């Protein structure tokens, strides 16, 4: 078996057994990154990765993440490695510090191979809003990998790395994981420090792992959670993330969200999700229907709150504090020219929407109402969790769509996150795992739980994964 076919846990075992070295692993994965048939990477740090691998190989004892390579979404700052957040605004930007979550993984022995492509400032669901390139879905190069963390998802599905990091504001880890046939997890809001994550919508943004197995996702997560003095919204993690071992769902009550199984869900997606609910019952779970009456208002709520927050967060990109100034006769013209030229159309649309929603006179009509709806959604989830342990739904209502299919229709693009956004608004943890194929393309099952239920979620996902035995190899990698 080629080294890049091993999961991260298998790579760690091979390292522990002395069957390979970190340098061999890094070289094997770099070869796949160099070829980059899916255009997943924006920057590659081959020299840095090799140097770090040599250092780790020379240590008397391997650190817990052993010297296994990883890819990082370009929204996360990495010291001295160009970090653009998919925007021309930050072209060539080399941060002076590394995001806490990446720092923690590096301290645990992960080796950063490079930075992955994304929708500009994490706004989008297909990675087509990147200012640099399209990333291709490893299952079908004519289709999108999902977004906004499309590069991170595609790099794992393509086996350029065993795992990667993404960020999820409304679905940007779970949806691309679903479209690329891999595992993606958004933890509880506040679980992982956002220090060094280029902010999109701060009441929603969360970092999380992509991997090909639930076990690997847990291994990454356990090294990232916990309070960071540099991020006042980060939380002390109660206990620790354990490596999941469950093989059944005895005693687990699963609620299927009615509103997220209806209109707009492709028949093939619904069939795969229903089949996996059957598998969950076979594993001992009780599966019951659950209603979240406001879930479908989530999308409208999100598209007021997220743009409102982004209009504030992106004010710093003015060519003076951050970004490249385009000189003009006076300061106002310079701001306008810089922001007008260097932001892409979706980012400008969001900033305008958000500025409008926050304008005095409209504030309560839009932002205030959206906040009230958000509270309603939070309460509906709390109510649901008084009767069930987990909520199940499709992750995405459709499989990967063709490149270019939705770029002219923002609303169609926004619909990609209809199932993931309610969970984000409620700040809850959720995992997407591949649960089958529809028309030869992967379908994702989303499992969500109450705040801090990560261990239970990972265990349940592990049991389902074992029973489904989904083959994560895209057709092109089957030899």
Number of residues lying near ligand GLN (CB under 6 A): 13
Stretch that binds ligand GLN, among 36-44, 84-92, 121-129, 466-474 (CB under 6 A): 121-129
Does 311 interact with ligand GLN (rule: CB under 6 A)? no
Residues for the chain: how many in total? Answer: 479
Q: How far is the CB of 43 from ligand GLN (least distance, A)?
A: 20
Does 426 interact with ligand GLN (rule: CB under 6 A)? no
Q: How far is the CB of 75 from ligand GLN (least distance, A)?
A: 8
Kindly provide the residue ranges of all beta strands, DSSP E only, lying in 346-477, ordered along the sequence. 390-394, 430-438, 441-448
Does 444 interact with ligand GLN (rule: CB under 6 A)? no
Identified catalytic residue from 130, 149, 172, 396 = 172
Identified catalytic residue from 148, 149, 152, 276 = 148
Q: Three-class SS of residue 255?
A: strand
Kindly provide the residue ranges of all beta strands, DSSP E only, lying in 212-339, ordered along the sequence. 253-257, 286-290
Q: How far is the CB of 302 from ligand GLN (least distance, A)?
A: 7
The DSSP symbol for 147 reads S
State which of residues 124, 298, 436, 442 lies at the interface with ligand GLN (CB under 6 A): 124
State which of residues 7, 11, 148, 164 lies at the interface with ligand GLN (CB under 6 A): 148
Helix axes 369-384, 298-313, angle to 10 degrees: 120
**Continuous segment of H or E residues that includes residue 210:** strand 206-211
**Is 297 designated active site?**
no
Q: How far is the CB of 364 from ligand GLN (least distance, A)?
A: 23
Cis peptide before 251 (omega within 30 of 0): no
Contacts of residues 78-81 at CB distance under 8 Å and 24 or more positions apart, as own/partner, are 78/102, 78/112, 78/115, 80/48, 81/43, 81/45, 81/48, 81/112, 81/114, 81/115
What does the alpha-carbon distance between residue 74 and residue 85 come to, in Å, rounded to a whole number? 5
**Is 172 designated active site?**
yes
Residues 6+ apart with CB under 8 A from 426: 377, 378, 381
Site for ligand GLN in 151-210 (CB under 6 A): 168-172, 200
**Comparison of 306 and 357: residue with beta carbon closer to ligand GLN:** 306
**Comparison of 187 and 436: residue with beta carbon closer to ligand GLN:** 187
Tell me the residue nearest to ligand GLN as measured from the CB: 172
**Comparison of 139 and 414: residue with beta carbon closer to ligand GLN:** 414
**Comparison of 40 and 122: residue with beta carbon closer to ligand GLN:** 122
Does 417 interact with ligand GLN (rule: CB under 6 A)? yes
Identified catalytic residue from 73, 186, 276, 453 = 73
**Comparison of 416 and 433: residue with beta carbon closer to ligand GLN:** 416
Handedness of CA 402, 406, 407, 413 (dihedral sign): negative
Q: 152: closest CA among 95, 111, 209?
A: 209
Q: Do 411 and 436 form a contact (C-beta atoms < 8 A)? A: no
- Token look-up 């619904």 returns 270
Q: Do 396 and 444 form a contact (C-beta atoms < 8 A)? A: yes
**Is 73 designated active site?**
yes
State which of residues 122, 161, 185, 269 lies at the interface with ligand GLN (CB under 6 A): 122
**Comparison of 110 and 179: residue with beta carbon closer to ligand GLN:** 179
Which active-site residues does the annotation give?
73, 148, 172
Contact positions toward ligand GLN, by CB under 6 A?
Answer: 122-125, 148, 168-172, 200, 306, 417
């Amino acid at each position: 078996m080629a080294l890049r076919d091993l999961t991260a846990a298998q790579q760690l075992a091979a390292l522990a057994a002395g069957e390979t070295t970190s340098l061999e692993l890094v070289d094997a994965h770099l070869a796949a990154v160099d070829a980059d048939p899916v255009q997943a990477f924006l920057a590659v740090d081959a020299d840095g990765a090799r140097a770090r691998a040599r250092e780790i190989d020379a240590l008397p004892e391997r650190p817990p993440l052993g010297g296994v390579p990883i890819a990082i979404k370009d929204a996360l700052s990495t010291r001295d490695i160009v970090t653009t957040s998919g925007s021309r605004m930050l072209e060539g930007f080399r941060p002076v510090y590394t995001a806490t979550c990446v720092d923690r993984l590096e301290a645990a022995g992960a080796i950063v191979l490079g930075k992955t492509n994304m929708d500009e400032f994490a706004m989008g669901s297909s990675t087509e809003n990147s200012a640099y390139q399209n990333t291709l879905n490893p299952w079908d190069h004519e289709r999108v990998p999902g977004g906004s963390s499309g590069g991170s998802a595609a790099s794992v599905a393509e086996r350029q790395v065993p795992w990667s990091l993404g960020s999820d504001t409304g679905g940007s880890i779970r949806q691309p994981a679903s479209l690329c046939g891999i595992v993606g997890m958004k933890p509880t809001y506040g679980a992982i420090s956002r220090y060094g994550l280029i902010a999109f919508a701060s009441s929603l943004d969360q970092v999380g792992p992509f991997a090909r197995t639930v076990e690997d996702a847990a291994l990454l997560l356990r090294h990232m959670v916990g309070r960071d003095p540099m991020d006042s919204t980060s939380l002390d993690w109660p206990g620790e993330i354990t490596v999941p071992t469950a093989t059944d769902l005895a005693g687990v009550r699963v609620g299927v969200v009615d509103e997220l199984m209806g209109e707009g869900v492709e028949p093939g997606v619904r069939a795969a999700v229903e089949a996996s609910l059957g598998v969950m019952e076979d594993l001992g779970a009780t599966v019951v229907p659950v209603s979240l009456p406001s879930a479908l208002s989530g999308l409208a709520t999100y598209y007021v709150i997220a743009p409102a927050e982004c209009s504030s967060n992106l004010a710093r990109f003015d060519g003076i504090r951050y970004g490249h100034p385009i000189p003009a006769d006076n300061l106002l013209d310079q701001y306008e020219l810089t922001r007008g030229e260097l932001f892409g159309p979706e980012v400008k649309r969001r900033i305008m929407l958000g500025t409008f929603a926050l304008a005095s006179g409209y504030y309560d009509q839009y932002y205030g109402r959206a906040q009230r709806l958000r509270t309603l959604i939070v309460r509906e989830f709390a109510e649901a969790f008084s009767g069930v342990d987990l909520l199940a739904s499709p992750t995405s209502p459709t499989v990967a769509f063709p490149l270019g299919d939705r770029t002219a229709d923002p609303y169609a693009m926004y619909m990609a996150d209809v199932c993931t956004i309610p969970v984000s608004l409620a700040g809850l943890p959720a995992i997407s795992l591949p649960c089958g194929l529809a028309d030869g393309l992967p379908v994702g099952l989303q499992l969500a739980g109450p705040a801090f239920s990560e261990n239970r979620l990972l265990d349940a996902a592990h049991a389902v994964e074992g029973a489904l035995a989904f083959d994560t190899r895209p057709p092109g990698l089957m030899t």
